[in-house]
Structures are given as structure tokens and as C-alpha cells.
Amino acid sequence: MSTPKRTVPKPEEQRGLRCPACGCADLRVVYTRPGRGGGVRRRRECRYCGHRITTSERAQ
């Protein structure tokens, strides 16, 4: 299995979530669980470097 290519767009084109370690936009969800106040917490992992982050999502 080969490592996916890392694409880093120009700063004016950047949108969405990025890996804080390498800047890659290719993150996969490892697991999802209910959060406080009706939100959702997701654990995500960068497909390029393997760094993991936790995100909190809430409906507006």
C-alpha cells in the first residue's frame, strides 16, 4: 500500500479542516461519539502522517 500524495493548496484556496502537523487535508474519521449539549465528537487521523485530532461539531 502506498502513501497518499499530500496536496497543499495556496493560502487563498484553503478551506476546511487540515492536519496541524503536516497541513494535509486528507483526514479520516477513526470514531464518532455523542458530545456534550447534543453535539458530536469525532476522532480524526491524517492519512499522510498519522497525526490524530479531536473535533467537536454542533448544528447551528
Is 9 a domain residue?
no
Is 2 a domain residue?
no
d(C-alpha 23, C-alpha 7), whole Å: 8
Q: What's the pLDDT score for residue 23? A: 87
Is 36 a domain residue?
yes
Is 37 a domain residue?
yes
> Rounded to whole angstroms, what are the CA distances from 26 to 12, 36, 56?
18, 27, 18
pLDDT (tens place) for every residue of the chain, 60 residues total:
566 665 655 666 667 889 999 888 899 999 999 988 889 999 999 999 999 999 999 888
Amino acid at 14: Q
Residues 41, 58 contacting (CB under 8 angstroms) = no
Q: What's the pLDDT score for residue 40? A: 95
Is 38 a domain residue?
yes
Note down the domain range covering 23.
18-57
Q: What's the pLDDT score for residue 44? A: 96
Is 30 a domain residue?
yes
Number of independent structural domains in the chain: 1
Q: What's the pLDDT score for residue 14? A: 62
Is 48 a domain residue?
yes
Is 24 a domain residue?
yes
- Owner of C-alpha cell 461539531: 57
